[in-house]
């Protein structure tokens, strides 16, 4: 059992990231938990060969999502408008000192997809659903990851970090820097915005790295997390 748990959150561009290379990347990085958004069927099959536990629900409508795990854990849906979040609950019986730990994988609606008066209403409803869950189901060790489609200046981000702090921001500031940007308009091109986030409580990051995902317009965020104290 390692001293840390390694989580990768990655948007796979609606199946656009080549499945084989991505699976090999997971293997090479020794990822314990992969929180995936916009995952296609070929990607899900390849990922399951590397991380055989969890629950993967692929799609080709930008709604494919899942959490792949190296060891067993319960994974369920958090009901939201149009696109549910996924929640993995890692128990100490399978994850040793890393459990209990809850991982919430979110993909908030992009602000530019659809008519503004419907898109913004949908975004607010999704963020409210996540915020309500976090408030009503407190957990001493929790990680909220994914594609928020919101920079730190946007209300969607600010509302959620009021409940669970931005661990990538804390990590970068502790080293005198700032978190790297994670999204650009073209796969492989420069990143313009930071819209993929790792929020955490009860665990602390000992490593944060933004990694290239071949074929995706998003970078992945790779984070090593250590437990802080004993669960309440």
Q: What is the 3-state secondary structure (H, E, C) of 67-110?
A: EEECCCCEEEEECCCCCCEEEEEECHHHHHHHCCEEEEEEECCC
Count of the separate structural domains present in the chain: 1
pLDDT, position 2: 61
Which CATH number does the domain housing residue 178 bear? 3.60.10.10
Q: CA torsion, points 9, 22, 28, 187, in degrees to nearest 10?
A: -70
pLDDT, position 228: 77
Q: How confident is residue 112, by pLDDT bands cut at 50, 70 and 90?
A: confident
In the chain, what percentage of residues exceed pLDDT 90? 90
- Residue 219 within any structural domain of the chain: yes
- The stretch 51-56 carries a mean pLDDT of 98
pLDDT 10s digits, 115-150? 666 888 999 999 999 999 999 998 999 999 999 999
Place of tokens 């602390």: 204
Task: List the single range of 104-113, 212-221, 222-231 with lowest mean pLDDT.
Answer: 222-231
- Residue 61 within any structural domain of the chain: yes
- The stretch 160-186 carries a mean pLDDT of 97
| Integer Cα distance of 78 and 130 in angstroms | 8
- Residue 232 within any structural domain of the chain: no
pLDDT, position 99: 87
Tokens of 94: 């399978």
pLDDT 10s digits, 73-99? 999 999 999 999 999 999 999 999 888
- Residue 94 within any structural domain of the chain: yes
pLDDT 10s digits, 192-211? 999 999 999 999 999 999 99
Place of tokens 């090479």: 28
- Residue 12 within any structural domain of the chain: yes
Report DSSP state, residue 147.
Answer: E
Q: Is 82 left (phi over 0), alpha (psi -120 to 50) or beta?
A: left
- Residue 78 within any structural domain of the chain: yes
* Domain membership of residue 47 as a residue range: 5-227
- Residue 136 within any structural domain of the chain: yes
- Residue 109 within any structural domain of the chain: yes
Please say whether the dihedral angle defined by the alpha carbons of residues 90, 62, 15 and 144, taken in this order, is positive or negative.
negative
| Integer Cα distance of 10 and 231 in angstroms | 28
| Integer Cα distance of 147 and 56 in angstroms | 17
Which pTM does this prediction carry?
A: 0.95
Tokens of 179: 């978190």
Instruction: Give yes or no for residue 36 having a pLDDT over 80.
Output: yes
pLDDT, position 111: 87
């Amino acid at each position: 059992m390692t001293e840390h748990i390694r989580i990768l959150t990655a948007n796979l561009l609606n199946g656009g990231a080549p499945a084989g290379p991505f699976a090999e990347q997971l293997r090479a990085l020794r990822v314990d938990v992969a929180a995936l958004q916009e995952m296609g069927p070929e990607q899900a099959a390849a990922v399951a060969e590397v991380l055989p536990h969890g629950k993967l629900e692929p799609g080709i409508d930008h709604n494919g999502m899942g959490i792949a795990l190296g060891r067993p854990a319960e994974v369920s849906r958090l009901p939201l408008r149009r696109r549910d979040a996924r929640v993995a609950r890692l128990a100490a019986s399978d994850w040793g000192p890393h459990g209990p730990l809850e991982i919430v994988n979110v993909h908030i609606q992009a602000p530019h997809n659809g008519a503004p008066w419907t898109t913004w209403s949908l975004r607010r409803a999704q963020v409210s659903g996540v915020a309500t869950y976090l408030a009503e189901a407190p957990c001493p060790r929790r990680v909220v990851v994914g594609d928020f489609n919101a920079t730190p200046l946007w209300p969607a981000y600010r509302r959620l970090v009021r409940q669970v702090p931005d661990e990538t921001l804390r990590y970068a500031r502790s080293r005198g820097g700032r978190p790297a940007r994670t999204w650009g308009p073209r796969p492989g091109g420069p990143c313009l915005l930071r819209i993929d986030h790792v929020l955490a409580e009860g665990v602390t990051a000992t490593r944060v790295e933004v990694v290239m995902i071949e074929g995706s317009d998003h970078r992945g965020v790779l984070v090593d997390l250590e437990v802080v104290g004993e669960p309440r």
